[in-house]
Chain A
C-alpha cells in the first residue's frame, strides 16, 4: 500500500519505492507480453501499448483513495493493472476469451471493472472526458467525497467535448482531475503540429481551472502532483488539470512503424528518463534494495505475467450464445422481437 507521505526524496520509504517499482514493472512486462501475443496472432485488432508511460498511472493511483474512480481512452492496460485489476482477466480480454473482464466481448479498448471503479476503456478519442466529469457529477450528487480521474491524451485535448466539459466541470465544481497524458504524439502527429498552445494545461485558465505541468517520467513527481490535485477536488473546490509529460516507446498501435520520430529520440528517452530505471537507481543508491532483491521482484513479476499469458491462452473462447447476451439490462420479453 502506498503511504501518504510527501514525495520529496528524503522522505520516500523503501517500501513505497519498492511498490512503485513493482507496479511499473508489472505494466512494462505485461505490455511486452501483450506485444508478443499480438505478434503470435493471439491478440487481434488494435492493441495500444503503454510502455514508457508507466509512472503516470502508478503515481496517480498512489494519490487515490479506495472508491475513487477512473476512466481513460483505448490505451488502457496500464490503468487497469495500476488500479488493481487482475492481469489474468485483462490479458484474457485481449485474447478475446471467456475469462476476460468483458467475457471477450470488449477487447483491448473496451474493458471495465465495477469492483475496481474502472469505467473504461473508451475507443472514441475524447468521449471519456465528459464521462469522467459525469462520474464526478454522480459523486457530488451523492455527496460521497469521491474523486474521478479522467485521463486523456494530447490528441484528445483538441476535441471540442473536452472544453465543453471543462466549462461544465468548472461551473458545477465537479470533483474531477483531468489528466492529460501528453506523450507528445497524437498517433503520428506531433503536438507542435496539432496544438496551438505549447502547454495544454494552460487552456484550463480560460475556464478558471487550475493546473500543473508534471514530469511524467518521475513517479514521485506524479504522485506529489496527484495528491495536490486530489486534495483540491476533495475539498470541494472543483476540477483540476494535470498535464503529465510522458513518452510512449512503442508506436501508436502495434501496426504503427513510428516513422514520424527518430530512433535516437526514442533511445535517448529510454536511456536517460526511463521511469522504472529511475526508481531502480533510487532503490540501489539509497541502499533500499540490493541487486538480488530487485532480481527477485523481476522474477516474481515475470511469473505473474507468464501466468496471465497462460490463462489468456487456456481460457476458452466465449460460448456462442454470448453473442446475444448483455444487450439489454433485462431480457426483452419473449412475446416481442
Chain B
C-alpha cells in the first residue's frame, strides 16, 4: 500500500519550511532511519528521516521549494512491485490547499466562574469552657510535631540540626529522644538535595516535615518545592503528589541583614498546588501545624523567630487542630478592618489598642492561612467597616496586601469609602544598622497613620 510522506513540523512553532534537498531519488529503497531530505525551518536545517520502509515511488515536491506547509504530502512510498497510483502532486503549496496541522484546541475562557462571596465561618476554634494553658509558640510547634508523630508512623522530621543539636531554634527539642534517629534526621547543609529527597520520600508514601533553618535557605531548594512538590499532582493527572510540610522561621529576626530577613509569604502564596500557613499565636501555630502535617498536599508553614518565645493561651485538649482557610477575628470593630497574619498581627493589634483610645474602632482579622485565603471574612468585615488597611512585613510590590486590595476592588468596590492601604516593609533589602532596620520594617505608627488616612481623621 502506498504511504504518503508528509512535510514534518520540526519545532513547536513551525508552520512551513523549505524543502532544501532530497537525499533520495525515485526508485530508491529506503528503510526506517534513512535520511530522506533536508528541510530548512526558520531556525535551522534539519535532516528528515524515513519512518517506514519502502521504495520512493514519487517525489511530489521538488527540492528548492519554499514555504511548504506542514503536513503537505511531499513524496509517496510504495512497496516492492507496487505501481505508483494516480498521485497528483499538489500545486506549489499554499495554505488554503493544505491540511492544517493538528486539531486546534478549542479556545476556552480560562476562568471558571468565581464563587460568590459566601458566609464566613465564624465558629469558635475550641469548645466553650475548654481549659487553657500558657505556652510559647516554640513549645506549641514542638507539641504539634510530637503529637502527629505519635499518631502516624509515616511522619518524620528532617533538617539541619533538628536532632542531636535539638533544633537551631530549639523547636525540635526532645524529639530525637522520643522518636529516635530513624524519624528525626540531621541532614548535611544541603537544602536543594535534602528537599528533593524529602519530595521523593513523599512520592514514596511518607509524610516528611522539612525544617529549613530559615526560609531564606529554602531558596536553594525552590525548584524542588515548586516544580516537584507543588506541580506533580496536576502533572500526574491526580495519581501522585507530595503530602509534606516545609517549615521554619520566615521574615526578619533582628539585625541579621538582607540575606536572613526576607518574608516569603507573597511568593509562596502565588503557587497553585501549595498551601501556605503563617500563624501568629501559639494556639494557631499548634492547630495549624497539626492540620498541615495531616494535609495530603505540600504545605509551606511560615514561622517567625521573634514570635517563638512569645506566650499565648493554648487550649488544653487532646487533639486540637485549626482548619486551613478560616481567618480568626481577634477583635471586632466598626470603623476600619485591619487584615494581617504572622508577626504583622503584633502591629495590627497594638494599633487597634491605641486607636481605641482615640475613639476609632478597628476590627482585626488574622488570616492564619494565605492559601487558601479566607477572603469571605475580609469582605464581610469591609461591608461593615467600609475601610481596610493590610499589614505585613514583606515588600510592597506584589504583596499579600496588594492581592487583598484587588479582591476588595472586585468583590466589595461599592462598600469601600476609601482606597485600601497596604502597610508593608519598605522596598529595600534589609539593612543591618539598627536605626535603618527599624526604618525598613513596618511600624505600629504607620498602621495608625494609615487608619487615620482611610477614616479621614
Contact = CB atoms under 8 A, between A and B. Distances in A.
A binds B: yes
Q: Is the interface of A mostly helix, strand, loop or mixed?
A: loop
A34 B203 CA distance: 29
A329 B241 contact: yes
B91 interface: no
Interface string A58-85: 0000000000010100000000000000
A192 interface: no
B409 interface: no
Contact of B227 (A124, A141, A171): A124
Interface in B29-48: 32-33, 35, 41, 43-47
B70 interface: yes
A317 interface: yes
A122 interface: yes
B359 interface: no
Contacts of B187: 168
Contacts of A39: 6-10, 70
B193 A102 contact: no
B119 A335 contact: yes
A135 B108 contact: no
A313 B282 CA distance: 56
B120 interface: yes
User: Among the interface residues A44, A167, A329, which one has the most CB atoms of the partner chain B within 10 A?
Assistant: A329
Interface in B197-244: 197-206, 223-224, 227-228, 232-241, 243
A165 B193 contact: yes
Contacts of A134: 196-204
Contact of A110 (B12, B200, B235, B407): B235
Nearest to A35: B51
A197 interface: no
A138 B121 CA distance: 38
A137 interface: yes
Interface in B91-140: 101-103, 105-106, 108, 110, 112, 114-115, 118-121
Contact of B234 (A105, A161, A270): A105
Contacts of B103: 317
B11 interface: yes
B190 A167 contact: yes
Contacts, number: 241
B273 interface: yes
A102 B235 contact: yes
A133 B156 contact: no
A11 interface: no
B273 A327 contact: yes
B238 A69 contact: no
B179 interface: no
A314 to B, nearest CB: 12
B375 interface: yes
Given A41-B102, A131-B203, A137-B200, A327 B9 contact: no
Contact of B223 (A100, A124, A141, A256): A124
A103 interface: yes
Contact of B51 (A33, A114, A135, A324): A33
A121 to B, nearest CB: 8
B170 interface: no
B376 A130 contact: no
A10 interface: no
Given A326-B234, A327-B272, A335-B121, A168 B201 contact: no
Contact of A334 (B118, B182, B275): B118
Given A40-B71, A327-B273, A328-B233, A168 B194 contact: yes
Contacts of A112: 232, 235-237, 239-240
B71 A41 contact: yes
Given A106-B235, A330-B296, A336 B376 contact: yes
B228 A131 contact: yes
A40 B239 contact: no
Contacts of B35: 263
B257 interface: no
Contacts of A329: 233, 241, 243, 295-297
Interface residues of A, number: 83
Contacts of A231: none
Interface string B1-37: 0000011111110100000000000000000110100
Contacts of A100: 237
Given A101-B237, A324-B112, A138 B201 contact: yes
B44 A259 contact: yes
Interface string B243-258: 1000000000000000
B6 A135 contact: no
A290 interface: no
Contact of B235 (A51, A105, A133, A255): A105
A186 interface: no
Interface in A17-51: 32-33, 35-36, 38-42, 44-46, 51
A69 B201 CA distance: 12
A323 B110 contact: yes
A122 to B, nearest CB: 7
A138 B188 contact: no
A38 B9 contact: yes
Nearest to A110: B235
A119 interface: yes
Interface in A80-136: 96, 100-106, 110-114, 119-124, 127, 129-136
B193 A168 contact: yes
A38 B360 CA distance: 66
B200 A135 contact: yes
A1 B221 CA distance: 41
> What 8 A-B pairs are tightest by C-beta distance, nearest first?
A134-B200, A130-B196, A164-B193, A41-B101, A138-B204, A39-B8, A329-B296, A255-B11
Interface of B: 6-12, 14, 32-33, 35, 41, 43-47, 49, 51, 70-71, 101-103, 105-106, 108, 110, 112, 114-115, 118-121, 156, 182, 187-188, 190, 192-206, 223-224, 227-228, 232-241, 243, 272-273, 275, 295-297, 325-326, 372-376, 407
7 contacts: A39-B70, A40-B102, A124-B227, A131-B200, A167-B193, A329-B297, A335-B325
Given A35-B51, A336-B325, 10 more contacts: A38-B9, A40-B101, A134-B202, A135-B200, A164-B192, A251-B46, A255-B12, A257-B46, A335-B121, A337-B376
Interface of A: 32-33, 35-36, 38-42, 44-46, 51, 69, 71, 96, 100-106, 110-114, 119-124, 127, 129-139, 141-142, 160-161, 164-165, 167-168, 171, 249-251, 254-259, 263, 270, 317, 320-321, 323-330, 332-337
